[in-house]
Every structure is written in structure tokens, then in C-alpha cells.
Amino acid sequence: MTRRLFVVGTDTGVGKTTVAAALLRRARTSGLRTLPFKPASSGGDDPQRLLAAAGLDERMLPRIAPLRYEEPLAPGIAEDPRPFVGEQARDSALGRRGEALLTRIGAELRALEAELRPDLTVIEGAGGWHVPMPGATWLPQWVETFDAPLLLVGRLGLGTINHTLLTLDTLERAGRRPLGFVLSATSSEEDPSTAANPAIIAHASGVPCLGILAHGASTIDLRAGAWDVLLGT
């Protein structure tokens, strides 16, 4: 039975793809079959990095990243910003189009899983939590569609306590308490805040820190028992 894991972030550029790729490599090293899925990608080479981490052929790119946009914007804005503003934002036809898109992409992932039979599917979101997505949808609707446990990724550095706790509070109110969080060092500069941040966030939220991804590292320094938590074992 496939275990799904949905990687969400506190913001864009916090290291979601690097963390997702590290998890895929760790799973492969453990002898697990893996599948990455990036339902909507805009700018950059995130899907290609996930494919490489999973050891899959590059010809799989259109299937593991079905919606791709060139502009480095929120996917929904890259597709068309108009549905998110003005009267169009309340158009019921847009809602039906979004539901149809979510149904289609959800079915495509199920078909991939049925074909490849992965032990672990790692789904990567886009940006933070309140992100406009294709079909005039928002990221929480995609999380609901894939119905996977969440892993939150935040930036390891000054300011992350506020950003991470705000996101955790939002997830809690949405009924989507994550399994835990990973903090990713996106800068090589010395930052005295990094030593205490994981423990402070965990204590304030009750959500465990599962690991730290050092700057430039390809593997996560997981806390004791974290891998079992992520795999649901």
C-alpha cells in the first residue's frame, strides 16, 4: 500500500524541493520504491530534481508534473491571474472548472501509483499555504484532493519562528496538523538564531521538529524516530 506525504512550505524558496528530494533518496537507499509528484510547477527545474532523486527516467516528467508554467509565479497566477480578483473570483463556472481539474489530476496520480506501485509518494506543493493554483483554486484544495499527511518545511534562520508558527496555526485551524516540520538552511551565513529555533517552535506548537537540512546538504539530519513517523510505521 502506497504511503503518501505532502510537503508544504512556510513560504517560497524555503527548501521544499531539496527536502522532498532528500526524502526520496533516503527512501530509495532503504530499498523503497518512490514516486515524486509536483502537480503544479512554475519556473525552475524542481520536477527534474525530484525525478532524478527518485531515479526515474526523464520521460516521466509530463506525468509527475502535469501542470508546468515558465513564469516563476504562483501557479495560478502564472496560468491566469484574473480569476483571483474582481467579479470573476465569484464565478461559479470557475469553481466547477477547478473541481474538474482537481478530479483529473487526482485520477492521474492514482493511475501512476497503480502502474508503478511505489511504497512512498512524495507530493510537493507550491510556495506557502495560501497560494493561488491552476483552475482558480487554492493550495488547500489540492491538499484535500490528495488527502496525504503533511510535512511542513520552514527556513532555518532569523524570522522562522514567526513564519513557522503562523503556518502551523493556520494548518491546525484547517484540521491539517502536520506530522512535523523540517527546517532548511537556505543560506551559508552564520546565524545565532538557528540553534534555538527548532526547540522553540516545537515547544510553542506541540508539533515535533523531525530534522534539519544543512545548507548545501543532500540528506536531512533526521531526529530519532522521525523516519518511522514519516513512513507511518
pLDDT digits (tens, 9 = 90+) for 124-181: 999 999 999 999 999 999 999 999 999 999 999 999 999 999 999 999 999 999 999 9
Q: What is the mean pLDDT of residues 60-66?
A: 97
pLDDT at 6 over 80: yes
Q: What is the DSSP letter of 118?
A: -
pLDDT at 233 over 80: yes
pLDDT at 90 over 90: no
pLDDT at 89 over 70: no
Output the pLDDT for position 143. 97
pLDDT at 99 over 70: yes
> Which neighbouring-strand residues pair with 69?
42
Q: What percent of the chain has pLDDT over 90?
A: 89
Q: For residues 229 and 223, what is the distance between their CA atoms, to the nearest angstrom? A: 10
Q: What is the mean pLDDT of residues 87-110?
A: 84
Q: What is the mean pLDDT of the chain?
A: 94
Output the pLDDT for position 95. 79
Q: What is the dihedral of CA 200, 201, 207, 212, to 10 degrees?
A: -100
Residues with catalytic function = 38
Burial 160-198 (b: 16+ CB within 10 A, else e): bbebbbebbeebeeeebbbbbbbbbbeeeeeeeebeebb
Enumerate helices (H) and strands (E) in the chain, giving the number of each: 9, 11
CATH number at residue 17: 3.40.50.300
pLDDT at 5 over 90: yes
pLDDT class of 45 with cuts at 50, 70, 90: very high
By the 10 Å C-beta count (0-12 exposed, 13-18 middle, 19+ buried), 108 is classed as: middle
Output the pLDDT for position 96. 86
pLDDT class of 190 with cuts at 50, 70, 90: confident
pLDDT at 222 over 70: yes
Question: Domain range for residue 94?
Answer: 3-231
pLDDT at 91 over 90: no
Question: How many domains is the chain partitioned into structurally?
Answer: 1
